[in-house]
Amino acid sequence: MDIGMMLDYSGGFREAVAEVRELENAGLDVIVVPEAYSFDAVSQLGYLAAATERIRLASGILQIYTRTPTLTAMTAAGLDYVSDGRFILGIGASGPQVIEGFHGVRYDAPLGRIREIVEICRSVWLRERLEHDGRHYRIPLPADEGTGLGKPLKLINQPVRDRIPIVIAALGPQSVAQTAEIAEGWQPHLFHPERAARVWGDSLAKGRAKRSPELGPLEIVASPALAIGEDADAFLPLIKPHLALYIGGMGARGKNFYNDLVAGYGYEAEAALIQDLYLDGRKDEAAAAVPDELARELSLIGPAGYVAERIAAFREAGVTTLTVAPLARTSADRIQQISELRVLAG
């Protein structure tokens, strides 16, 4: 099982590089650079590529609305080049709060757009003359929509790889089915290893039935919080505000998939209470309403023996990469946690 870690949204480039070098030596396999409405991910990924040797570099995630499909493909090929073939393209739809609120771009048709973007990226990396006549993207632009001067072009440079791994962040049933069909990897959120099949099992089976053999088995990237130690339970309250935000605050009543997800895990009453409290502005109470049991099941928090059991549960559920969030106060503590996790994960 591979071990990954996501960088902090607000971390500085130079500070991050120094720590990532140490994490690479500690056995970290993948470093994931997020992109919300902080610094862009691409700048930091390029910076990290120049300062590391072995660790794989992933975007987590590049939002599909903020770049053209061909620019996404060009960027991935460039990052793969400067990292000597270590880049993983993580993409996702994000949400209207960021896409419309920060970028001023309409949020629409995420499912169809992602499928076409994947098709376009793979065509670009093969250096095919690009011709795509889709519902959402038309390349070249037809004469009746442009100047009439556009013609099919192909990427000038020869990519390091003609198939860069694509990991899609997906949660809804249709989105998960499509991801299992077309992508190398799937990145869910709030993954419960023993109960994920209740929510996503049918979608994964549907997508895998259409999956091309050349894609290989679907990689699954889970993102649990991490704290290893005899006193690690003291960290449980630290993850509850994050869980309450998603369960209670990511959408209105009846339109929050995270709430539906946790209800599907068997916490219907708890999910409803957390949402009611959160939407009423009682965020501290919403966090306190997150059950300890749920927090433990979604994380890797506890003594080493217990964490080893949880790793086995994630592995049994099909997880191939644990992109953890260490609950550590210092860089040295994070590095130590990753070292211990590397040993436990084998």
Give the pLDDT score at 14: 81
Q: Which residues pair with 167 in a beta bridge?
A: 90, 185
Whole-number Å distance between alpha carbons of 340 and 195 = 26
Give the pLDDT score at 297: 97
The pTM for the full model equals 0.96
Angle of helix 110-125 versus helix 69-82 axis, rounded to 10: 50
One digit per residue, the tens of pLDDT, for the chain of length 346 reads 999 999 986 667 788 888 999 999 999 999 999 998 888 999 999 999 999 999 999 999 999 999 999 999 999 999 999 999 999 999 999 988 889 999 999 999 999 999 999 999 999 999 999 999 999 999 999 999 999 999 999 999 999 999 999 999 999 999 999 999 999 999 999 999 999 999 999 999 999 999 999 999 999 999 999 999 999 999 999 999 999 999 999 988 998 999 999 999 999 999 999 999 999 999 999 999 999 999 999 999 999 999 999 999 999 999 999 999 999 989 999 999 999 999 999 9
308 and 298 assigned to the same domain: no
167 and 242 assigned to the same domain: no
Structure-block tokens of residue 29: 């396999």
Helices (H), ranges, 126-195? 173-182
319 and 270 assigned to the same domain: no
CATH number, domain containing residue 322: 3.20.20.30
281 and 202 assigned to the same domain: no
Give the pLDDT score at 96: 87
Whole-number Å distance between alpha carbons of 185 and 178 = 11
127 and 245 assigned to the same domain: no
Q: Tell me, letter by letter, the H, E, C secondary structure of the chain.
A: CEEEEECCCCCCHHHHHHHHHHHHHCCCCEEEECCCCCCCHHHHHHHHHHHCCCCEEEECCEECCCCCHHHHHHHHHHHHHHCCCCEEEEEECCCHHHHCCCCCCCCCCHHHHHHHHHHHHHHHHCCCCCCEECCCCEECCCHHHCCCCCCCCCCCCCCCCCCCCEEEECCCHHHHHHHHHHCCEEECCCCCCCCHHHHHHHHHHHHHHCCCHHHCCCEEEECCEEEECCCHHHHHHHHHHHHHHHHHHCCCCCCCHHHHHHHHCCCHHHHHHHHHHHHCCCHHHHHHCCCHHHHHHCCEEECHHHHHHHHHHHHHCCCCEEEEEECCCCHHHHHHHHHHHHHHHC
Whole-number Å distance between alpha carbons of 175 and 177 = 5
Give the pLDDT score at 15: 81
139 and 215 assigned to the same domain: yes
211 and 136 assigned to the same domain: yes
64 and 17 assigned to the same domain: yes
Total domains present in the chain: 2
23 and 142 assigned to the same domain: yes
Cβ atoms < 10 Å from Cβ of 294: 21
113 and 215 assigned to the same domain: yes
Give the residue numbers spanning the domain of 153.
Answer: 2-226+304-345
199 and 156 assigned to the same domain: yes
Which pairing describes strands 138-139 and 132-133: parallel, antiparallel, or unpaired?
antiparallel
290 and 331 assigned to the same domain: no
CA atoms within 13 A on the CB side of 145: 8
Give the pLDDT score at 12: 72
